[in-house]
Amino acid sequence: KFLHFEACYYQAIDFAIENRLARVEAGAQGEHKIARGYLPVEIRSFHFIADAGFAAAVADFLQREGRAVEQERAGLAEFSPFRCENEQKVKGTTEAQRHREE
């Protein structure tokens, strides 16, 4: 019944814990991942676009998209399942990130 979550999420978490990995990337999309502790994080990539005009258009779009994505990430972080010791929700960080910062 829960094979998808076991194979896609829980096994990855177990592997990360056993191997002391600081992060597990669950991939894009899926608000259902938030309840399982996979909060949205910024991922960077770099690309070369040879055509200067097209590169400028893409750069303009990415600036606008970046603002929208950050707003969405911040909004989704409100649904974090993690709580601090004083029972306040941890916004925008994963449990592993919070422990590394302490």
DSSP string, 24-53: ----S--GGGGGGT--------------HH
Q: What is the pTM of this model?
A: 0.52
**Taking all residues of the chain, what is their mean pLDDT, rounded to a whole number?**
79
Whether 87 has a pLDDT exceeding 70, the answer reads: no
Between 79 and 83, residue with greater pLDDT: 79
Query: What integer is the mean pLDDT of 11-27?
Result: 87
Q: How do residues 48-71 score in pLDDT, each as one tens digit? A: 999 999 999 999 999 999 999 888
Assign 20 a pLDDT band (cuts: 50, 70, 90). very high
Does residue 96 have a pLDDT over 80?
no
pLDDT score recorded for residue 10: 85
- Best CA proximity match to 81, nearest among 42, 24, 31: 31
